[in-house]
Amino acid sequence: MFKRLFNELTLVFELSPQESPLLIKSGRESGADPTLLDMNFVRTAHPDTGEMTVFLPGSSLKGTLRSYCEKIARTVRPEGDQVWCCDPFSPGFCGKRLEGNLSAAARYASSCVACRTFGHTGLGSHLAISDAYPNDTPRLEQRDGVAVDRITGAVAAGPFNLEVVTQGTFQATLRLRNFQLWQVGLLAVALREMGQGRVPIGFGKSKGFGRVSVNYKELEIAYPGRFALQANGHNFGVELVDLVAFDFPGRDEYHLIPADPLSLPLPEEGREVVDDGAFGRVATHWTDAATIEAVLNATVGHWRACALGEWPPSGEANDE
């Protein structure tokens, strides 16, 4: 689906433990290796130095953001069904519901708000998050943990040695392609909540582990394939344009969510516009955290309109 690229948002941000130990478990059991703890932080080779380092896998970050976005969607529309926001662990999950010989447009049209952003087994994701590597040397500590029997409250197993990060800064890049403004708004809400410590990541959420701060570093809004700043009544150098504003074949079959307005003005402050006329790419770029936050927050109204709006039309739920 969406073989063409219309709009693209790239957000670089840093995550740091917020007075809370952080542990993304590696799949490795300590087994017979006495040098390993019972639960170790996941490690890989740093792409710049080649040295082994702890890191935050992009898949973990994406999974955490997805679950939190689902939680927000279910909270704002408690009566919403699986077409509004599906439960990936239920048989009504979009990936299951939309199996079979459907066109890409039909699959998208019947997918819920979470799957439209994060994808499902039959629908590519519009959002990608890179692995987050440390900018400095993270502080690693050992903690003891136990497994508690849920019924009796007694210690069922343990203690385990846990390897946690207590200080450090990890840099991640989030890329959203062919997006609607409501999707940016929903992510803005989730990232804000994450930065306020309300969306823990990794192991031990019930113990208070995994609370992080979020620090925006760079934002780029780009329109690939544009040889001019202006087209279709939009100025790509100064506007954040919703996917629904672009014309493409069969667009109506995708049942995009109405956007009003179709675009938002981008702040002038600190703005760098790159109009690469030769290669066809218009991009605007900011590095000031407050301005980046303002751009993201401006889209929350579109998410609100989506949440309180008429999509999906009732009666469409069980067409299949």
| Shortest distance (Å) from residue 94 CB to Zn ion | 3
Measured from the CB atom, the residue of 89 and 279 that comes closer to Zn ion is 89
Nearer Cβ to Zn ion (94/164): 94
d(CA 235, CA 230) in angstroms, rounded, equals: 4
Q: Considering beta carbons, is residue 86 or 298 the nearer one to Zn ion?
A: 86
Query: Contacts with Zn ion in 106-125 (CB under 5 A)?
Result: 112, 115
Residue 129 Cβ vs Zn ion, minimum distance, rounded to whole Å = 18
Instruction: Using the minimum distance from each CB to Zn ion, give the nearer residue, 109 or 112.
Output: 112
297: nearest Cα among 174, 193, 169, 179: 193
Structure tokens at 260: 């009003």
How far, in Å, CA of 262 to CA of 239, rounded?
10
3-state secondary structure 97-141: HCCCCCCHHHHHHCCCHHHHHHCECCECCCEEECCEEECCCCEEE
Using CB under 5 A as the binding rule, the residues of this chain from 223 to 252 that contact Zn ion are none
Cα dihedral 133, 135, 141, 144 in deg (nearest 10): -40
Q: Which is nearer to Zn ion, 98 or 165 (CB)?
A: 98
Calpha distance 97→229 (Å, rounded): 41
Q: How far is the CB of 96 from Zn ion (least distance, A)?
A: 10
Interacting residue with Zn ion among 9, 54, 94, 256 (CB under 5 A)? 94
Q: Which is nearer to Zn ion, 120 or 281 (CB)?
A: 120
**Cα dist from 97 to 81, 92, 120, 125, whole Å:** 13, 6, 11, 17
Q: Which of residues 263-302 bind Zn ion (CB under 5 A)?
A: none
Nearest to 175 by CA among 228, 213, 118, 120: 118
Task: Report, in Å, the least distance between residue 93 CB and Zn ion.
Answer: 6
**Phi (first) and psi of residue 108, to 5 degrees:** -65, -45
Q: In angstroms, give the least distance from the CB of 114 to Zn ion.
A: 5
Single out the residue of 86, 172, 189, 292 in contact with Zn ion (rule: CB under 5 A). Answer: 86
Minimum distance from residue 20 beta carbon to Zn ion (Å): 31
- Of 72-80, 89-97, 165-173, 292-300: span binding Zn ion (CB under 5 A): 89-97
Determine if the peptide bond prior to 249 is cis (ω within 30°): no
Q: Contacts with Zn ion: how many residues (CB under 5 A)?
A: 4
Interface residues with Zn ion (CB under 5 A) are 86, 94, 112, 115
